[in-house]
Structure 1
């Protein structure tokens, strides 16, 4: 799955420092899913001070309750 995040330099740096992201799921589904971030590419917004992080996510395998 490919994702994009837009944010300030500080926000994008925080995301890149953590190669594993936890995403909350819907109420009746799996409550938390863990994804590994890889192939990250960062570009600057030509019209402002935001940065764009484009990356691939893959769901991490593990035990599920």
Structure 2
């Protein structure tokens, strides 16, 4: 699935610097799901100092990796 994050340079840097993301889910699903980002691209708004990170996100079960 393709996903985009919007934020400041610091916020996007936190997301872009991680190969794995852990997302918390609602109570009727597993509590945590791990996703891996592929092909990240960062787009900058020229005047507002806002950024958008877009990437392909796939769920992974690789529990041996550390983020």
Alignment of 1:1-65 (within 5 A): 1-62=1-62
Structure 1: runs of 5+ lacking an equivalent: none
Deviation at 1:53, TM superposition (A): 0.3
Which consecutive segments of 4 or more residues in structure 1 shift more than 2 A?
none
What is the number of equivalent residue pairs in this alignment? 63
Which ranges of structure 2 fall in alignment gaps of 5 or more residues?
none
RMSD: 1.4
Mapped partners of 1:41, 1:24: distance in 2? 24
TM-score (norm 1): 0.86
Query: CA shift at 1:28, angstroms?
Result: 1.5
Aligned pair in 2 of structure 1 residues 49, 36: CA closer, same or farther (>3 Å)?
Answer: same
Using the size of structure 2 for normalisation, the TM-score is: 0.84
